[in-house]
Chains A and B, each alone.
Chain A
Amino acid sequence: QVQLQQSGAELAKPGSSVKISCKASGYTFTSYYISWIKQTTGQGLEYIGYINTGSGGTNYNEKFKGKATLTVDKSSSTAFMQLSSLTPDDSAVYYCAREGNWGLFDYWGQGVMVTVSS
């Protein structure tokens, strides 16, 4: 069965970076994009961008350019998202999701809680 297993919760200091992972299994990894979505209580769900798992090409929501960097390791079927120059506004749950069809997220990881605090 399709599974997206994300790394564990992160506690980070303002100005630092974190890198979270999303390991896929149960399907051909390079046949689907992996997207990343931010969830906060106040802002709801926000689309960050996607990575083409075959080519490594990326597309970012303008709002997250310079904040998020998406990469992939095809050999381990794992996608990564690095968040840089962290501020308290980056505190959120971050999900990876498989993009099954154009802009549709048919499988989601369990989410990673990132807390930014001094």
Chain B
Amino acid sequence: GQQLNQSPQSMFIQEGEDVSMNCTSSSIFNTWLWYKQDPGEGPVLLIALYKAGELTSNGRLTAQFGITRKDSFLNISASIPSDVGIYFCAGQLRSNYQLIWGAGTKLIIKP
């Protein structure tokens, strides 16, 4: 079946540092989405990308939809403590609109 390779699996950073994570797949997706999940909560949508090559920002977050439709990255600038959590990428199949999820990137900010 379809799989997304999300990396890194976890990141330990200092407050104020920039963060970069990405997802790749052998499958072509119609849409790429980035969600964040806090402990004990459900995922919350951060950014949705609909066009190949699209670059979208949401505050300190920037995400891009790869030109081949097989990959995406998410950058967080000047990290703050509330950025801690697990970030998931998800690709949406054009055939049936099903979402395929990555395994997540756990962001930990060192005190």
Q: Do A and B bind each other?
A: no
Residues of B in contact with A (beta carbons under 8 Å apart): none
